[in-house]
A and B are shown apart, each in its own frame.
Chain A
Amino acid sequence: MFELLIYAIIILGFAAIWQLVRVVELSARLKGVDPNKVTESDNRLNGRLMLTFMIAMFGFSIWQFFAYKDRLLPTSGSAHGEEIDWLWDFNMIIIIIVFFITNGVLFFMAYKYYGRDNAKATFYPHNNKLEMLWTGVPAVVLFIIIFLGIKLWNNITEPAPANVRLIELYAKQFNWTARYAGEDNKLGKANYLLIQGANELGLDSTDKASNDDIIVKGEFHIPVDQEVNFRNRSQDVIHSMFMPHFRAQINTVPGIETYFHFKPIHTTEEMRKITGNPEFDYILMCNKICGASHYNMQMKIVVDSPKQYEEWIKQQKTFIPKVEEAKADAKPEADSMKADSLKK
């Protein structure tokens, strides 16, 4: 019913526009004027609308900035993220200035020089000095932006030191698994051909490094103020590990390992205080289209104090016992399958 009402209003709206256009045209014809010829009053009207639009659009932009300011991502949860935020603000100030000035001048010109019947435009085909100016100034500003940007990019993407805690994030349609390197800080070998049953990650149990690996689902913890290096793998299609609160993102690509490392600087608890939101959680989400449930491929991240972290990690089981349990579970099933195939 509500939908029908909306359609009725829309149709009436079009009818009204059509009538309006007809009336304007008929009156033009009555005056003996070509209805499609642009007149000075058309120019004045549209010139003024240009100015009005500018004011409205600037107002709309500023309103959004204030209305939405508190809903944007909170302060960075990672060390490099603070640098990103600084550079972001620096660039943003430049582009906001350019946005307002250039659009402002454009709409002002569009208003000021609307066509008058007896006026003539000024023939002004070029001015080399002016053109040099607005080639040169953007070039200088851009070189500053490029310099600062590349410098920060190099810092962020520098390979992590060897002793940093290594965690693997493993993506598949449509969930994440985290694997901790364990006491030896070495992730055991994995191979997609070994994926079977509970061994979702395809770990190679003959590789000793894998024995103490810790596999967790649902949520994973990291200690505050300690650098952590994420190694990312994918089982099926490209996903993207995206942790917006840490300003961290990198694709997970089947057949390729990608890395991203950072240092969390606020625990979840602290962040809840900073944001004033008692339910705040760090989150890992998928940010590369990966299928129908792409929109719900997430994992909670908890940043602990080092002490809390040690307690948590102790409670997690290592890979080998996990597989043995799984084998024990899977055995009867496998036996019955064998029996089935024999019958055939």
Chain B
Amino acid sequence: MSSHAHSHEELHGTSLEHEVHAHHGHDDHDHHHEESFVSKYIFSMDHKTISRQFLVTAVFMAVFAMMMSLLFRLQLAWPGEKFAIANALLGDKWAPEGVLDANMYMGLVTIHGTIMVFFVLTGGLSGTFSNLLIPYQIGARDMASGFLNMLSYWFFFASSFFMVISMFVEDGPASGGWTVYPPLSALPQAMPGSGLGMTLWLVSMSLFIVSSLLGGLNYIITVLNLRTKGMKMTRMPLTIWAFFVTAILGVLSFPVLFSCALLLIFDRSMGTSFYLSDIYIGGAPLEQTGGSPILFQHLFWFLGHPEVYIIILPALGLTSEIISVNARKPIFGYRAMITSILAIGFLSFIVWGHHMFITGMNPFLGSVFVFTTLLIAIPSAVKAFNYITTLWKGNIQYTPAMLFAIGLVSTFITGGVTGIILADSALDINVHDTYFVVAHFHIVMGVSAILGMLAGVYHWFPKLFLRKMNKNMGYIHFWITFVSAYGVFFPMHFLGLAGVPRRYYSNTEFPMFENLQDINVLITIFAILGGLGQVIFLFNFFYSMFFGQKSEQNPWGSNSLEWTTPMAHTHGNWPGALPEVHRWAYDYSKPGEESDFIPQTVPLRPGEEDGGGH
């Protein structure tokens, strides 16, 4: 058994390199590491396997959440209409005769948001790519702690499990929106979903936070301690910078969400009143008094806002790498990109109040948050301009990954500019919680991050599954996804400008919204098209996993270290000694060189300047 070798490596992280060297001195290395099915594929401590576990779980969760969105989109486009599919999926209680129930509508909206934000774009995105790329791209044999890494996945799995089964409890899932503001979420008298469904939501999220912290600590320590010789911080690919800052954000902000959730658990089951005061509900005054529902929002958004950067930074990191590789050009302004990531990371902690302009918060505080929030637009703009300049005079290779990466830049701009409006508290007054906001955040972080994640899947599929995904299906998938993303979310701005609030089960109760129905139909048609487009992806993904074309070692002509490993899942990543790094990761099309890429392991020529060190 390999357990001895394993534990030895984990306990002595620093001597890991040495150990594995010694192993690889012998040819019988593989025999030593013969692993059982369970330790290889289930309770694996190998970063590559854990990465795949995160990805497959996230794909499952994404399908689940996307189907929910299609169900509520049907209701919004054709309110009260009967859909056999709704009845087939939700049953007679929640969709009698195929008409979606109002409580279930709220439940679907809530769980859709929760899964997409946390399970797909936080757990799925960071879990997959930080795990895969941090050891690979910094030249490490594995994560600093394989054991904690394994725990991180299994907490994620348990948390996903509880979130999914919460859909099936009698009173329905949590239904107070993904932000679960109390008192609504604290009191089962207020809505059925605030009963067992909400309890499961809290259990699930607590487990999720544990997973995220275990993962995050591991990523930070690995980046700081396990970089191979020559891999200075200023030579790291931008992917690693993005994952590194993301992990720091997570470690600093998720504990606050934990405390936020914990106090809510206390209020719900132990009679405390952190968030409750002066409430009369269900025909009786509530005994608990003296708390503040606004406290919850401060705690929630103290995580909640960094959270959107926890989602978007990794996607931007993946994009930086993919755009540079496929434009066959160095990323423009490497140092400025790092500075932008750091600036965004820092600012993300002092802007949470812009979610709360109209809670009755002191207006002066509102002004401060207007100021800090609008500052974030500066590093974000720098990033967008740098991507565009990277394309300039490039020799763009349109792999499916490159299409998705360029798509991300476009949606990041389109969604970003409306953020300038929403950050302005005076303007926020009339569009707060309307479809204008729904349009904004879906484009800037939902669509952008999904496009980034898909770009990453296409680009690193050969490192994940040793095969390539089908190119032509990738093209079809991209164009359907991109067109439908704009088709779904762009018209939503206009609904917001017409005053339509979000989270309305139906807009039929207001005569002023009557003439907007065709917009909702248009949105739903694009949503269905987009959903069908993902079927192509799912087929390509699972088919290529087993039957795809085997990949060569460096299919995209890339400089970073992961492509210097053989196309095999070897424990320890490099069969021989760890690679030594001599240059930054972006020497593409360097003048005077024959090849249009120079891997980081190639020593600098005499007198040659290292691009990363300028």
A-side interface residues toward B, CB under 8 Å?
3, 10, 13-14, 17, 20-21, 24-25, 34-38, 42-43, 45-47, 49-50, 53, 56-57, 60-61, 64, 68, 71-73, 81, 83-84, 87-88, 91-92, 94-95, 98-99, 102-103, 105-107, 109-110, 113-116, 119-127, 130-131, 134-135, 138-139, 142, 145-146, 149-150, 152-154, 156-157, 172-173, 191-193, 195, 202, 232, 235-238, 240, 242, 244-245, 247-251, 253-259, 279-281, 283, 285-296, 298
B327 touches A157 (CB 8 A): no
* A238 CB contacts on chain B under 8 angstroms: 181, 183-184, 293
Contact B536 A254 (CB under 8 A): no
Residues of B within 8 A of A24 (CB): 472
Q: A43-B397, A173-B190, A256-B292 are in contact. Are A35 and B471 (CB under 8 A)?
A: yes
Choose one: B85, B293, B358, B497; the contact of A249 (CB below 8 Å).
Answer: B358
Q: 12 new A-B pairs (CB below 8 Å) besides A125-B333, A237-B187?
A: A14-B532, A35-B549, A36-B471, A64-B491, A115-B397, A134-B382, A150-B425, A255-B279, A256-B294, A281-B511, A289-B503, A291-B106
Near A by CB (< 8 A), chain B positions 376-408 give: 377-378, 381-382, 384-389, 391-399, 403, 406
| A157–B426 alpha-carbon span in the complex (Å) | 9
Residues of B contacting A290 in the complex (Cβ-Cβ under 8 angstroms): 184, 190
Residue on A nearest B433 in the bound complex, by CB: A287
Which residues in B have their C-beta under 8 angstroms from that of A46?
398, 403, 475
Does B509 make an interface contact (CB < 8 A)?
A: yes
CA distance A57 to B483 in the complex (A): 8
Q: Determine the chain A residues whose CB is within 8 A of the CB of B473 once the complex forms.
A: 17, 21
- Interchain residue pairs with CB less than 8 A apart (27): A24-B472, A53-B482, A64-B490, A68-B491, A71-B498, A87-B426, A88-B427, A98-B417, A102-B413, A109-B392, A113-B395, A120-B589, A121-B327, A124-B330, A126-B614, A149-B374, A192-B280, A235-B281, A236-B280, A237-B183, A248-B429, A250-B359, A253-B360, A256-B360, A281-B511, A289-B176, A289-B177
Q: CB-defined interface of B574-598 with A at 8 Å, one 1/0 digit per residue?
A: 0000000000001011110000100
Which of B285, B392, B410, B535 touches A14 (beta carbons < 8 Å)?
A: B535
Given contacts A17-B476, A255-B277, A255-B279, contact A287 B328 (CB under 8 A): no
Q: Is B430 an interface residue (CB 8 A)?
A: yes
Decide yes or no: A153 and B363 within 8 Å by CB, A115-B397, A125-B334 being known contacts. yes
Q: Which residue of B lies closest to A94 (CB)?
A: B420
Q: In B408-436, which residues have CB < 8 Å from any A CB?
A: 409-410, 413-414, 417-418, 420-421, 424-427, 429-430, 432-434
- Give A92 to B494 CA distance when docked, in angstroms: 13
In the complex, residue of chain A having the shortest beta-carbon distance to the beta carbon of B536: A17
B479 interfacial by beta-carbon distance below 8 Å:
yes
Choose among B102, B374, B387 the residue that contacts A145 (Cβ–Cβ < 8 A): B374
- Say how far B297's CB is from chain A's closest CB, in angstroms: 9
* Nearest-CB residue, chain A, relative to B391: A109
CB distance from A95 to the nearest CB of B (A): 4
Whether the Cβ atoms of B398 and A130 lie closer than 8 Å is no
Closest to A21 in B: B472
- Which residue of chain B lies nearest to A49 when distances are taken between CB atoms in the complex? B479
Given contacts A154-B367, A292-B106, contact A121 B85 (CB under 8 A): no
What 3 pairs between A and B have smallest CB-CB spacing?
A: A255-B277, A244-B499, A258-B360
Cα-based distance from A119 to B328 in the complex (angstroms): 10
- Residues of chain A lying within 8 A (CB to CB) of residue B511: 279, 281
Determine whether B371 belongs to the interface, using a CB cutoff of 8 Å to chain A.
yes
Write out the residue numbers on chain B whose beta carbons fall within 8 Å of the beta carbon of A113. 327, 391-396
Query: Which B residues lie within 8 Å of A88 (CB)?
Result: 421, 427
B519 within 8 A of A: yes
Contact of B589 among A61, A121, A156 (CB under 8 A): A121
> What's the minimum C-beta distance from A167 to chain B, rounded to whole angstroms?
16
Given A87-B424, A87-B427, the answer on whether A73 and B498 have CB atoms closer than 8 Å is yes
User: B358 to A146, Cβ gap below 8 A?
Assistant: no
Residues of B within 8 A of A146 (CB): 370-371, 374, 424
Chain B 491-531, CB-CB to A under 8 Å as 1, else 0, gives 10010011101011111011110011001000000000000
User: CA–CA, A258 to B293, complex, Å?
Assistant: 13
B362 nearest in chain A by CB position:
A157
Are A126 and B332 touching (Cβ within 8 A)? yes
Chain B residues, CB < 8 A from A293: 102
Give A248 to B399 CA distance when docked, in angstroms: 49
Q: How far apart are A88's CB and chain B's nearest CB, in angstroms?
A: 6
Q: Please judge, given known A-B contacts A87-B427, A121-B329, whether A289 and B106 are in contact too, CB under 8 Å.
A: yes
Q: How far is the CB of A24 from chain B (nearest CB, A)?
A: 5
Provide the bound-state CA to CA distance between A98 and B328, in Å: 27
Q: How far is the CA of A260 from the CA of B81 in the complex (A)?
A: 39
Report the minimal beta-carbon distance from B55 to chain A, rounded to whole angstroms.
20
Q: Does B228 contact A (CB under 8 A)?
A: no
Are the CB atoms of B382 and A68 closer together than 8 Å? Answer: no
Bound: A43/B391 CA distance, A: 14
CA distance A250 to B366 in the complex (A): 13
Rounded to whole angstroms, the CA-CA distance of A114 and B329 in the bound complex is 13
In the complex with contacts A124-B332, A125-B334, A295-B509 CB distance below 8 A:
yes
- Whether B430 pairs with A120 at a CB distance below 8 angstroms is no
Q: Is the CB of B426 within 8 A of A149?
A: yes
Nearest-neighbour CB distance to chain A for B235, whole angstroms, equals 13
Q: B317-338 vs A: 1/0 string, CB under 8 Å?
A: 0000000000111111111100
Residues of chain A contacted by B498 (CB below 8 angstroms): 68, 71-73
Q: Chain A contacts of B491 at CB under 8 A?
A: 64, 68
Tell me the bound Cα distance from A19 to B80 in angstroms: 38
Query: In the assembly, what is the distance between CA of A256 and CA of B516, in Å?
Result: 35
| In the complex with contacts A36-B549, A122-B393, A142-B375, A253-B398 CB distance below 8 A | no
Question: How far, in angstroms, from A84 to B550 measured CA to CA in the complex?
Answer: 59
Q: Are B398 and A60 in contact (CB under 8 A)?
A: no
Q: How far apart are the CA atoms of A114 and B410 in the complex, in Å?
A: 17
For the complex, what is the distance from the CA of A4 to the CA of B214, rounded to whole Å?
47
Are B471 and A123 in contact, with the CB atoms below 8 A? Answer: no
Residues of A within 8 A of B230 (CB): none
In the complex, what distance in Å separates the CA atom of A212 from the CA atom of B260? 43
Q: Closest approach, in angstroms, between the C-beta of B537 and any C-beta of chain A?
A: 12
- Do the beta carbons of B334 and A149 come within 8 Å of each other? no
**CB-based contact B501/A106 at 8 Å:** no
A291 adjacent to B184 (CB under 8 Å): yes
B360 touches A250 (CB 8 A): yes
- Interface presence of B96 (CB below 8 A): no
- What 1/0 flags go to B78-91 for Cβ under 8 Å of A? 00000111000000
Contact A255/B395 with A88-B427, A106-B388, A195-B280 known, Cβ cut-off 8 Å: no
- The residue of chain B having its C-beta at the shortest distance from the C-beta of A50 within the complex is B406
List CB contacts (< 8 Å) of B71-116 with chain A.
83-85, 102-103, 106
B57 lies within 8 A of chain A by Cβ: no
What B residues does A298 contact at CB under 8 A? 509-510
Do A295 and B505 touch across chains, with their CB atoms under 8 A apart? yes
Question: Known contacts A126-B335, A146-B371, A294-B505: does B589 contact A253 (CB below 8 Å)?
Answer: no
